[in-house]
Structure 1
Amino acid sequence: MIVALGSNMPGDHPSSEALLDAALSRFSQAGLPVLARSRWWNSAAWPDPKSNEYRNGVAIVEANGPPEAVLEALFAIERSFGRTRGLPNAPRTLDLDLIAYGREVSDTPRLILPHPRAHDRLFVMGPLAEIAPDWVHPVLGKTAMELAASAPVGRDAEPISSTNHTNHTNER
């Protein structure tokens, strides 16, 4: 399963990166052990570049149970970090998006898989290509690397260099 993480408001944390690290550490407690994760990436806010810059990343997570239950677990983690859902694309402390659940394809009022806009966003496909370049989009048939190269949204996105960061992690 692939989860995208994003933040442009650090809340009670010293930075959005610290908030994202703290959020990622909650995944195992929610029954979603992290198998791999990307570096954090920086990008201008979208669609309003005057808002705070975003930090984004992607994690590959092990999940048991239906995708709707995983989505609820992700929403619970968001709420624990002060996320309130209001206007689309508004600034937020934490945004967790279920990008893909294996090769599952669904389109219900509650959940669309794969995520309907992830393939257009460099700040999602870039981090995914970093840890799973050969992942294939179950509808489009293109790899994460190909989608990152052609993503029209967030073209300014780039990884943040950090000497304290490991590109891959295994919490199990």
Structure 2
Amino acid sequence: MKFLKSGLEALDEVTVIALGSNMAGGYPSSEALLEAALARFPGARLPVLARSGWWRSAAWPDPGEPEYRNGVALVETSLRPRAVLEALFSIERGFGRTRGAANAPRTLDLDLIACGREVIDAPGLVLPHPRAHERLFVMGPLAEIAPGWVHPTLGRSAAELVVTATVGADAIPI
């Protein structure tokens, strides 16, 4: 695991990406798939500064589906937010992701959580991610590597948000 060592002011400039999977595809496990996805970030101009460990949680809204594995990466990039999103979609497609029904099982789910302190509300791109602060499987891994990261609109740190997150309340590090 790689942890962010720089000061809190550096957190205002990082891009936060959440990773998730509950279908391993051709990999031995979802964790192996997620590791392979992270390995593609630098080639997409998304060099990883820090990354969390993997967390597990029941599938939502149907806990009968396979469990999820989730984590968070902090990246440094000169790409604009829309270009970051397109890079993430490209990586997802490379792992067999097809977008269909909401909350359906998937090989790879890459969510753009925040790009520095930017606030955007445009078709197809809302930053910060409108529900990330409610998700323990996002806030837990984020607080693990960057507890001082502050949500751009809520003004609360990852360490504070992890306590109030209610979606995926069963999420735990593995």
Question: Partners in 2 of 1:126 and 1:51 — Cα distance?
Answer: 22
Q: Structure 1, residues 115-146: CA drift from partner, whole Å, max 9, x if none?
A: 00000000000000000001000111110011
8 Å contact kept, 2:45–2:79: no
What is the aligned partner in structure 1 of residue 48 from structure 2? 34
Runs of 4+ in 1 over 4 A off after TM superposition: none
**Per the alignment, in what secondary structure is the counterpart of residue 89 of structure 2?**
helix
Q: Structure 1, residues 21-61: CA drift from partner, whole Å, max 9, x if none?
A: 00000000111100000000000001111100000000001
What is the aligned residue count? 160
What is the aligned partner in structure 2 of residue 11 from structure 1? 25
Question: Partners in 2 of 1:66 and 1:37 — Cα distance?
Answer: 21
Q: Structure 1, residues 84-112: CA drift from partner, whole Å, max 9, x if none?
A: 00011110000000000000001001100
For residues 1-172 of structure 1, what are the structure 2 equivalents within 5 Å? 1-160=15-174
Partner letter of residue 25 of structure 1? Answer: A
C-alpha deviation, 1:65, in angstroms: 2.1
C-alpha deviation, 1:147, in angstroms: 0.6
Percent of aligned positions that are identical: 73
**Per the alignment, in what secondary structure is the counterpart of residue 42 of structure 1?**
strand
Mean Cα deviation higher: 61-70 or 126-135: 61-70
Question: Partners in 1 of 2:79 and 2:110 — Cα distance?
Answer: 18
**Per the alignment, in what secondary structure is the counterpart of residue 123 of structure 1?**
helix
Question: Partners in 2 of 1:63 and 1:157 — Cα distance?
Answer: 29
Question: Partners in 2 of 1:152 and 1:65 — Cα distance?
Answer: 32
C-alpha deviation, 1:63, in angstroms: 1.1
- RMSD over aligned CA atoms reads 0.5
Partner letter of residue 12 of structure 1? Answer: G
Question: Partners in 1 of 2:135 and 2:79 — Cα distance?
Answer: 27
Question: Partners in 1 of 2:127 and 2:167 — Cα distance?
Answer: 19
8 Å contact kept, 2:19–2:108: yes
Question: Partners in 1 of 2:80 and 2:38 — Cα distance?
Answer: 20
Question: Partners in 1 of 2:20 and 2:144 — Cα distance?
Answer: 16
Question: Partners in 2 of 1:69 and 1:133 — Cα distance?
Answer: 27
